[in-house]
Structure 1
Amino acid sequence: MANIKVLIADDQELILESLHIVLSMHEDIEIVGLAKNGKEAIDGCEQFQPDVVLMDINMPVMDGVAATALIKKRMPGIKIIMLTSYREVEYVLAALSHGAEGYLLKAIHPKDLAAGIRVVHAGGTLITQEMASKMIKNMNTNNTTFEKSNEYGLSVREIEVLHKLASGLRNQDIAEALFLSEGTVKNYISTIYSKLHVKGRREAARKARDSGILD
């Protein structure tokens, strides 16, 4: 039986190396690539064609959610497991909406991590009962907001940036708050302006409030 080819993406060297070491101990798992940001993860997927990607959520250059969306669009056969050190519902929900197969907390026991990879490789998903409940609750409470935001086709991440922008935060502050690079924030803001058909921050904030995207 062929090994499961895995690519690991995490911006923390220590986590990247430790995951590499513990997973390499399993005979049926082969680490084919390591990436320190979302862009490297996409490049690694194109180069190594892994079966499964372990994808950190918060990374510089491009975050794990954006990278997941692009990988799933270009290479839908690659399975993606989001790695998170906290229960960040919105980020996980966004990744799942782009087609990720589930998520695991970084604090998970190595044995359970390997088991999770095997489940996803075999066609299963990794969503806890708790996350499923949060997803249903989140969908119910945010339905109106998403319906209104979807009039303009805004993504979850774009709504987050829009919230920060409307609060008066500068690009640098938004970048720090959302663990993004300033360049990525500028790209998001340009896309938001384009989708809302506005030319500036004040106009974007006003339109978002008037249309009910921002409560």
Structure 2
Amino acid sequence: MAPIKVLLADDQELILESLRIVLSLEEDLAIVGLATNGEEAIEGCEQFRPDLVLMDINMPVMDGVAATALIKQRFPATKVIILTSYREVEYVLAALSHGAEGYLLKAIHPKELAAGIRVVHAGGTLITQEMASKMIKSINQASAPKSNEYGLSPREMEVLHKLASGLRNQDIAEALFLSEGTVKNYISTIYSKLNVTGRREAARKALDSGFMDR
């Protein structure tokens, strides 16, 4: 049986080389290419046609979520596993919504990572128990927004929650499947309703008012 062709994408050369060495020890895995940003990952898919891409999220030029979306559009047969240190639910949801089949943390044991690659290559979906629990909690919270005294709509509450978590407008847009312009409009409305002028002030007022968890 032919080995599983894997392309590695990470902007840290030490991690790239470590992954290459560790995964090359597995007889059924073949590292066919390395990429240091999302654009290089797409180019690698064009050149090497890997079965699977092991993709970091935070990379220069193009991040892993955007690269995943383009790879799934252009090479739908190629599987993508996000391998990152980010534990935020927003990143998980954004990655999975763009077609990623797995989301793993870099602290994973090499043998478990290799096993995960095999699971996804065989058609499975992979996510750690920790991240799955966070996703369920996030979905439950989103489905039952807390009341508030400022007249914020449920969608405005969602935007405010993510804004208070420190996410950028682009990340909020990806997490909520909105355009960045729409997010900016929501934020402007939120500021007006809360009578604030910035993110920190908005987050503080929401927390102090008791309709968002600390």
The TM-score normalised by the length of structure 2 is 0.71
**Is 1:192 aligned to 2:199, yes or no?**
no
What is the 5 A alignment of 1:11-30? Answer: 11-30=11-30
Count matched residues.
Answer: 176
Distance across 2 between alignment mates of 1:62 and 1:146 = 33
Q: CA deviation at 1:36?
A: 0.2
Distance across 2 between alignment mates of 1:94 and 1:163 = 11
Q: Alignment partner of 2:125: what SS?
A: coil
Per-residue CA deviation, residues 62-99 of structure 1 (Å, 9 max, x unaligned), is: 11111111111222211111111242321122101111
Q: Alignment partner of 1:53: what SS?
A: strand
Per-residue CA deviation, residues 23-75 of structure 1 (Å, 9 max, x unaligned), is: 11111111111000111111111211111110001111111111111111222
Once the two structures are overlaid, the 10-residue window that deviates more, 4-13 or 57-66, is: 57-66
What is the aligned-residue RMSD (CA, Å)? 3.2
Per-residue CA deviation, residues 170-206 of structure 1 (Å, 9 max, x unaligned), is: xxxxxxxxxxxxxxxxxxxxx623x57xxxx7x6742
Residue matched to 1:93: 93
What code does the residue aligned with 1:88 have? E
Q: CA deviation at 1:208?
A: 5.7
Residue matched to 1:66: 66
What code does the residue aligned with 2:134 have? K
What code does the residue aligned with 1:206 have? S
Cα contact 1:6–1:33 (8 A) shared by 2 = yes
What is the 5 A alignment of 1:72-91? Answer: 72-91=72-91
Residue matched to 2:188: 206
Q: CA deviation at 1:160?
A: 3.6
Higher relative contact order, chain-length normalized (CA < 8 Å, sep 6+): 1
Residue matched to 2:159: none
Distance across 1 between alignment mates of 2:153 and 2:72 = 22
The TM-score normalised by the length of structure 1 is 0.70
What code does the residue aligned with 1:105 have? L
Residue matched to 1:122: 122
* Shift in CA distance, 118/147, structure 1 to aligned 2, threshold 3 Å: farther
Cα contact 2:54–2:80 (8 A) shared by 1 = yes
Distance across 1 between alignment mates of 2:153 and 2:68 = 20
Q: Alignment partner of 1:80: what SS?
A: strand
* Runs of at least 5 residues in structure 2 that lack an aligned partner in the other structure: 146-151, 157-161, 173-178, 195-201, 207-214
* Shift in CA distance, 43/211, structure 1 to aligned 2, threshold 3 Å: farther
Cα contact 1:8–1:35 (8 A) shared by 2 = yes
What code does the residue aligned with 2:188 have? R
Cα contact 2:104–2:128 (8 A) shared by 1 = no
Q: Alignment partner of 2:124: what SS?
A: coil
